[in-house]
Every structure is written in C-alpha cells, then in structure tokens.
Structure 1
Amino acid sequence: MVLFSLVASHSSIDLETVARLSAGAAAVSADVVAGDNAVAGLITLATCNRYELYVQARSAEEVSDARQSIVSAVSFHCGLGEEFVSDALATQHGTHVPRHLFAVSTGLESAVVGEREIAGQVRRALSTAQQAGVSTPALVRLFQSASKTAKEVGARTALGQRGMSIVSVALDLATELADSPSLAGKTAVLFGTGAYAGAAMAQLTQRGCTDIRVYSSSGRAETFTSSRGGMALDESSMPGALAAAHLLLGCSGSEHQLTALDLAQMRQGVSTQLTAIDLALSRDFAPEVADLPNVDLLTLETVRQAAPEEQESTLSEAAALVEDAAKNFEQAQNSRSLDHAIVALRRHTMGVLDDEIAKIRQQHGCTAATAEVEFAMRRMVKQLLHVPTVRAKELAAAGDSESYLAALDALYGLKVEPAARPAATASQRTASDPGTQGSDGQVASA
C-alpha cells in the first residue's frame, strides 16, 4: 500500500488558482480511477480554501506515474497547463500524508483556525468517493482516522470551542460594518443551496435574521427553502430582493457571476447600505461590486485576514494530538505490510501438519486416540506460530519487514513475494470489498 497526496491550499497559493484547479474535481476522480493507470484509488477534498487529492498508488514504483496521471487529468478538466498544475500541487509522502489531513480535519490548517465546517467536509469527501466507487480500504481508513482525530482534538482541547467558522467570522465583520450587533429586521439574499449555503442559513437564523431569500441558478432554491425556511427566488423576483437586501451571501460558486452593472441596475435609486459577502471560491460577485456606492464587499481573503488567532497553548495541544495520531496511523499501516508473509507461514506450517495427521489416520484409522493426537498437534502448532506472528507485527510497525522475510527464507525456505497488482478496477473493489464501505478491510498489497 502506497499513499500520497497532492495539495493546493490558501497557505501556499492564491485562492483564485485553487478555484481554477478544483474545477471539474468530480470528473477528475472518475476519469483517473476508471483509466488504465497506476492509480488504485482517489479521494478529493475540495473546499473554499483548498483542493487536495489523496491517492493510493498500485505500488511504490508507480507513484510517479500515478501523480502524472492525476496532473494530466486536472490539467485537462481545469484548462491549465500540465507544468503549471504540477507546480501548484505540492506532493506529500509517508507520515506527511496523515499528519496533514489530520491537521486539516481538526481545523489547524484552516483560514479560520479551529473552524467547525472542515470536519464535515472531510467526512463528505470520503462518502462521495465511496459512492462514486473511487475509494480503497486504505484511503477509507485514512479518512476515518482523520475524523476520529478531529473528534479527539475537539474533546481534549479548547480548539474550536468558540464555534468559529468562515461564515461566522464573515458575519461578525458584516455586523461591525453595519454598526449593528444583530441581524434582526435585516433582509439577506443567499446565493447557493449546497452544504456551505446550509451553514450560512443556520448562522443567519441564529443571529436573528428572519427575512432570508435564496437564489440558485440550478433551480434548487425551492427544495432548499422547503426544509430550511426562507423564500426561494427566481430570475423575476431577484431584482426586487436585491433592492431590499441589507446583506448578500455568495456560497454557490456557479458560473453565473453577479456583475457590478447588474447589481447597480437592480438597486437603482436605493441608498440602503449593502454588505456583500463572497464566500465562493470561484467568486459569486464580481470584484467591481466593491466600487459601487453604499456597497461593501467582503471576500474569503478578507475573512482570512480578520480571523482571530487561537491561544498558543491550545494550538500546541492540538498539534501534539495530531502528531500522535499520525504516528499511530503509520504504525498501524506498517503492521499490515507483513500480513501476506504471516499467511504464507501459516499455510506452510498447517500444510505440514495436515500431511502428518493424514499419515496417522492411515496407520491408526479415525479413532478417539487419533482425534486426541490431532487436537494436541494443532494446539501445539498454534502456540508455536504465536511468537512469529507477534514478531511480524512488531517488525512491520518498526519498518523492518525485510528481516522477517529473510528469516522465513533462511529457516523455512519460504520466498514470500509482494502481493500481485490487483486486476480489478477500483469500482469493482468497492462493490465487492466491504472494507471500502467503512470496515477495516485489508489492502491486498505488500
């Protein structure tokens, strides 16, 4: 099993580039895993601040080929050159992979440190990959461990206890600009109907905003408001809603961007102060909106810069837990690297035992004495295999699988080869292997 990740986030490149890279993320996953290449599985984490791909290569020798397959697919779907994409996606290997994902899931790597939404986005990324048939048991374990780490950090530290999120910080800024501690009596127009829009809707309601109108270019506003409240908008009702609005929230990231000209026409003659909060990675509102009179524009970059810092002690505690979790995950993964060798030793030993028992039966028949001898011999062999099995786990966890394989060859003449490259596609494995649905299934590799 070989895992690596490709990462582009707000901490390394600008958000516009992150948005361009993540265009067509779902198509990238489907194309790469369905193709005849070195990629065994892929889980994509795409949020407003990051585009990250967690990959299982079919073997250590094929990591470079697997990376190139992904870079080519991302380039094709986002329209950027392969060299540019390759430079933008930082590659992580070994313990850096779980360490980074675990830090991301806890909110340590977020623009708003300790934000709550990211843990849910990590869970949804896993669920989406499983439903699409592009995950593998190893990737499932990685993401399940990330969610477990996020819960542990939340329970054992003060990180995130203030309930901060990108949405909450943005609304804090909006209320400061409006010089009003509450959104009661205000009219808000929400663009988008996804999970991010749902979080924004909940925050608006908690802050006393009861007049919330929702627009979706895909026509899902009616369904969204039927379960969450608010009023659905369409093209005909949009101008009146924007004219009455005190607050705009962009959470859709659709191709239909609200231009400064359109907004100026719909608000002609309106002097009410308007705060537009653009939380979409690909921008729901054109930057020129900020130049309109009586309009303030807040962007993700604005929110990131305004986010309060957590206390140093809390960050240190959370980082230490993440580090421990990453080491434990790596040790657990290493301990599985000799499973095939353990199986080979057991098969060899039990084969010898079965041959000897067959000889006893030929000589003495199926008597009670023969049964007792068989029981005693099987018990003895089981006890003899206990120590080699434990040592295999210990050596694998320490990264010294070679010593164990060499010992099997020297003592038993067993030349254990790494597991063969699987012939089935990732979608076939997802359908047949219960491990891809969340169980702790074993990866069939050395």
Structure 2
Amino acid sequence: MLICLSANHKNSSFDVLEKLSVGAPGTAGGIIERYPTLSGAVIVATCNRFEAYLDLDEPDGASPLEAVQAAIAGVSAGTGVTADVLRETLDFVHGNGVAEHLFAVTSGLESVVVGEGEIAGQVRRSLEEARERGTTTPELERLFQRASQTSRGVKNRTGIGAAGRSLVRLALQLAETRIVDWATARVLLVGTGRYAGASLAALRDLGVTDVRVYSPTGRAAKFAGSHGITPVSERAFALEADRADLILTCTTVEHHVVTAALLRAGAAANEDAGTGAEPEAPAARRLIIDLGLPRNVAPDVTEIPGVELLDLETIRIHAPLEELNATSEARLLVGRAARKFSAVAEEQSLAPAVVALRSHVFDLLDSEIERARAHGDDTEQTERALRHLASVLLHTPMVRSRELARAGEQAAFTGGLDALFGIRVESGSGAGGQAAAAGPTAPGIRSVRADDAASIA
C-alpha cells in the first residue's frame, strides 16, 4: 500500500516548511525504523513542499493508521516539528490517489508557479537520494519512474510549460519594477545548487551580462568556469555584496549567508577603498532575492537604507493564476497515467495467485505425462496434446484474473481458486494494497483522494 504525507505551500506556513526542509535528509530512515511493515520511504523536499512517500507492506484492507502515526513520529524526530503541528498540517493521501498526486506534483501542477520546470528534477533527485540511503522499494521505484515519464509527457503534449515559467523567472519578473536597466545591472549570484543554473539562464534572457558568483561551500570557481562568469572569493564577498544592484541567493546551507552585518562590512570596506556608492546615489538601489530554503538571507538586511528583500513568501503571494486550458489538459494526462499505473499494480497483486494456479496445472500435467509414459505411451504427440490442452484451459482464468484485478475484485479470483482447486493464496500486499480501503484516517490529518475516474476522464 502506498501512502503520502504532504506539507506544502497550500497547507503549511513557510516556517514549518523551512524546518521540514532542514531535517529532510535523514528522515526516511527514521520513519522506516519506527514501524516494522514500512518497507520503504522517499522524501521529496523543495522550497515549497515536504512529502514522504511510503510503501506499507500490509495485506489488502489493512488500516494504515498506526503506520501513519509512526511516520509522523519519525518526521517529528528528524525535523524538530512537533507531532501535533504535523497532524494539523499534513495532508494524507493513500492507495490509488498517491500516484495521481505525485504525477501532478512532478508535472508542476501543484507548484506555486503552475507548470514550473524545476520540480521534475527535484523529484528525480529525491529518488536518487533514497537509493543511496537504501530506502526505496520496487513499488516506489516504479511510482517515481512513472512520475518522471508522465511529467515529460505533460511537458511535450501541453502548453503548460511552454513559456519556461519557473519560480526563478517569477521572482525576476517581480524584480523588473526595481531594476531600471537589466543590461547594466550588476548581479551577485550566491550558491551553485539547485536554482543557480536556472537563475543564470533567466538573468541572461533578460540581458544581464555582469554576473558574479559566490559559493559558501567553495564551489564558485568551478561553477563560474563552466558558465563563463566571475567567481567571488570569501574575502571579496562582502565588498561584492555591497556593489551589487541585485543579490540572488539559492544555496542549501543551513545558515544565513547574507546579513546586515555583511552588507555594512562591505559598505565600510568599499568606502575605505574609495569604491563605494556616491553620496548622491539613490537610496533604494539594492534588491535581494532569497530563493533558499532554509532562508539564505537574514531579515535584518531590510534595516539598511536602500535594501529591499524579496523572499519565497512574497513570491508565493504574487504567483499567477493557472492557465486553465493547459492545466485542464495536463490534469487529464495525469489522471490517465495514474489509472494506468494503478491497473498495472492491481494486475501485479494477483501475480502470486496466477503463479499458484499455473504451477498447480502444470504439476498435474507433468504427472499425467509421466503416467502415460509408464503405460508405454511416450510419443511426442501425446505430450504436445496434453500441453496444448493445459494452455487452453488456463487462457480464460488468465484473462479473468486481469479483468478482476482491474475491477478491484481480487478476492473473487483467489476465492475461486480455493473453492475449485484448494489453492490458498495470502492476500496481496504492497502493490496489491492500492485498491483496498485503507481504513480510518489518523486524527487531525486530512485524507485526500484522487478524483473519481469518471470526473477526470
């Protein structure tokens, strides 16, 4: 059974998302350790969401309540966010709804900027990190790989991402009223991580040519060399921060990189060197865009005259409305992909029963062939005829197994095997749990199911 616990820009405060992001790396292992049948976990943590995708190895119809509570305890222990806050914040998705939710997330349909392109890469990296930590399962692998395929299909077949929209581009769009001339703007890029490349590309599209990069982790020279810009050393960071018209931060370090103290030190150093701003220069001349989570910029920078801070909370408020046609088409594709994913999972859930039936029939077949040989009938024609008969007899049960699985009626097939042949197969778990009613919802957690198939189609 697949489960998703989701905190995002729609149901959580920025402060909660920031804490969840900081503690995200080690959370998966802590969740799995707390419940014996939680076999896998993949954590997706971005600047606007924290989601735990879990594989619960329980029989069909089992309640996930205890597993959810254990997962919440694991997230709380790893991030420092109290269990009570998590229960009030997290959305709970289970069963068939998990695939549709992840496919929509990966396609950018649940982002602040609908259709933004960065999220697909972030989801892909989340799976890679889970692999490195050994917390994936075959079903989670299939889920995330299918999510990546779906996002590519949505991108190629709809206009939802045609304009190259992203959080970075929205931030720069909001900055246009503060920057007089992009061609002459001096920009300091802080960070070489998840948004740095996209930020640089967006700046160049606006006509910016003077870009310098500083990395608090020492990667500035490498990034600058591969992108044709100027690296900034630790010693020169404060000076360059004071000289920049725009500072754009996108690093993943867990402390404030740009502070009021840094800007004051840079101003003092530039003044001593005679390279500071002229007294008659306009006060409101420096804009700082903070795309980091946790925050890269200390709130006290706004105490300095002429400095304006544009952070993720502000950007989120100004996110544009969805383009209805493109979004509707994209959600149609996501719904279809989710139904196909679930149909395959349902078929796989009956695999043990199908294998048991085939084994039963072919064991009988082998016995009959041996009996015939013992009575002197060892011709190839006899063996061929018996094997053909077995295949004909198995054809209809194989077809019906797929039909019943897709209809969520696995019990009818397994019950028939027991009644007719005495073959007993344990109820499926993992993929097979997708069709099962998942039991009551954990107190204080909203249960979110995918839309009914008829309403999507």
Shorter-normalised TM-score: what interval? 0.7 to 0.9
Q: 1:24 aligns to what SS in structure 2?
A: helix
Return the alpha-carbon distance in structure 2 between the equivalents of residues 155 and 198 of structure 1. Answer: 22
Return the alpha-carbon distance in structure 2 between the equivalents of residues 36 and 150 of structure 1. Answer: 32
Q: 1:195 aligns to what SS in structure 2?
A: coil
Give deviations 1:307-327, integer Å, cap 9, x for gaps. Answer: 332332222222222222222
Q: 2:41 aligns to what SS in structure 1?
A: strand
- Cα deviation for residue 156 of structure 1 reads 2.2
Q: Which residue is equivalent to 2:237?
A: 238
Q: Which residue is equivalent to 2:409?
A: 400
Contact 2:21–2:47 (8 Å) recurs in 1: no
Contact 1:191–1:216 (8 Å) recurs in 2: yes
The within-5 A match list for 1:428-443 is none
Gaps of 5+ in 2: 269-275, 431-457
Contact 1:37–1:65 (8 Å) recurs in 2: no
Q: Which residue is equivalent to 2:133?
A: 132
Q: 2:195 aligns to what SS in structure 1?
A: helix
Contact 1:28–1:70 (8 Å) recurs in 2: no
| Greater relative contact order (CA < 8 Å, ≥ 6 in sequence) | 2
Contact 2:191–2:213 (8 Å) recurs in 1: yes
**2:328 maps to 1:327:** no
Contact 1:213–1:233 (8 Å) recurs in 2: yes
Return the alpha-carbon distance in structure 2 between the equivalents of residues 7 and 194 of structure 1. Answer: 24
Return the alpha-carbon distance in structure 1 between the equivalents of residues 104 and 400 of structure 2. Answer: 32
> Residue 388 of structure 2 aligns to which amino acid in structure 1?
R
Q: Which residue is equivalent to 2:148?
A: 147
Return the alpha-carbon distance in structure 2 between the equivalents of residues 405 and 214 of structure 1. Answer: 63
> Residue 38 of structure 2 aligns to which amino acid in structure 1?
V
Contact 2:34–2:71 (8 Å) recurs in 1: no
- Cα deviation for residue 229 of structure 1 reads 3.0
Q: 1:267 aligns to what SS in structure 2?
A: helix
Which of 149-158 and 338-347 deviates more? 149-158
**2:99 maps to 1:90:** no
**2:424 maps to 1:415:** yes
Contact 1:21–1:85 (8 Å) recurs in 2: no
- Cα deviation for residue 202 of structure 1 reads 2.3
- Cα deviation for residue 419 of structure 1 reads 5.9
Contact 2:189–2:211 (8 Å) recurs in 1: yes
Q: Which residue is equivalent to 2:195?
A: 196
- Cα deviation for residue 347 of structure 1 reads 0.6
Match of 1:287 among 280, 293, 299: 299
Return the alpha-carbon distance in structure 1 between the equivalents of residues 56 and 80 of structure 2. Answer: 25
- Cα deviation for residue 146 of structure 1 reads 1.5
Return the alpha-carbon distance in structure 2 between the equivalents of residues 89 and 246 of structure 1. Answer: 39
Return the alpha-carbon distance in structure 2 between the equivalents of residues 24 and 304 of structure 1. Answer: 22
- Cα deviation for residue 81 of structure 1 reads 2.0
Return the alpha-carbon distance in structure 2 between the equivalents of residues 420 and 94 of structure 1. Answer: 12
The within-5 A match list for 1:29-428 is 29-33=28-32, 37-60=36-59, 61=62, 63-180=64-181, 183-257=182-256, 258-268=258-268, 270=277, 271=281, 273-364=285-376, 367=378, 369=379, 371-418=380-427
Return the alpha-carbon distance in structure 1 between the equivalents of residues 216 and 34 of structure 2. Answer: 33
> Residue 52 of structure 1 aligns to which amino acid in structure 2?
E
> Residue 105 of structure 2 aligns to which amino acid in structure 1?
V
> Residue 96 of structure 2 aligns to which amino acid in structure 1?
T
Return the alpha-carbon distance in structure 2 between the equivalents of residues 420 and 107 of structure 1. Answer: 30
- Identity, % of aligned positions: 40
Return the alpha-carbon distance in structure 2 between the equivalents of residues 35 and 91 of structure 1. Answer: 18
> Residue 120 of structure 1 aligns to which amino acid in structure 2?
G
Q: Which residue is equivalent to 2:271?
A: none
Kindly tell me the number of residue pairs found equivalent between the two proteins: 415
Distance 1:350 1:97, change over 3 A: same
> Residue 123 of structure 1 aligns to which amino acid in structure 2?
R
Q: 2:87 aligns to what SS in structure 1?
A: helix
Return the alpha-carbon distance in structure 2 between the equivalents of residues 95 and 58 of structure 1. Answer: 15
- Cα deviation for residue 69 of structure 1 reads 3.1
Contact 1:15–1:281 (8 Å) recurs in 2: no
Which of 336-345 and 136-145 deviates more? 136-145
Return the alpha-carbon distance in structure 1 between the equivalents of residues 385 and 193 of structure 2. Answer: 63
Contact 2:38–2:67 (8 Å) recurs in 1: yes
Contact 2:124–2:148 (8 Å) recurs in 1: yes
Provide the aligned C-alpha RMSD in A.
2.0
Give deviations 1:108-138, integer Å, cap 9, x for gaps. Answer: 1110111111122222222222233211111
Contact 2:35–2:70 (8 Å) recurs in 1: no
Return the alpha-carbon distance in structure 1 between the equivalents of residues 161 and 381 of structure 2. Answer: 62
Contact 1:95–1:330 (8 Å) recurs in 2: yes
- Cα deviation for residue 88 of structure 1 reads 2.4
> Residue 309 of structure 1 aligns to which amino acid in structure 2?
L
Give deviations 1:378-413, integer Å, cap 9, x for gaps. Answer: 121012111101101110111001111111111111
Contact 1:278–1:300 (8 Å) recurs in 2: yes
Q: Which residue is equivalent to 2:433?
A: none
Gaps of 5+ in 1: 422-446
Q: Which runs of 4+ in 1 moved over 4 A?
A: none
Return the alpha-carbon distance in structure 1 between the equivalents of residues 235 and 22 of structure 2. Answer: 29
Contact 2:21–2:293 (8 Å) recurs in 1: no
Q: 2:129 aligns to what SS in structure 1?
A: helix
TM-score by length of 1: 0.88
> Residue 261 of structure 1 aligns to which amino acid in structure 2?
A
Q: 1:163 aligns to what SS in structure 2?
A: coil
Return the alpha-carbon distance in structure 2 between the equivalents of residues 124 and 176 of structure 1. Answer: 35
Return the alpha-carbon distance in structure 1 between the equivalents of residues 21 and 75 of structure 2. Answer: 8
TM-score by length of 2: 0.86
> Residue 232 of structure 1 aligns to which amino acid in structure 2?
P
Distance 1:420 1:110, change over 3 A: closer
Q: 2:375 aligns to what SS in structure 1?
A: helix
Which of 56-65 and 101-110 deviates more? 56-65
Contact 2:160–2:326 (8 Å) recurs in 1: yes
> Residue 354 of structure 2 aligns to which amino acid in structure 1?
I
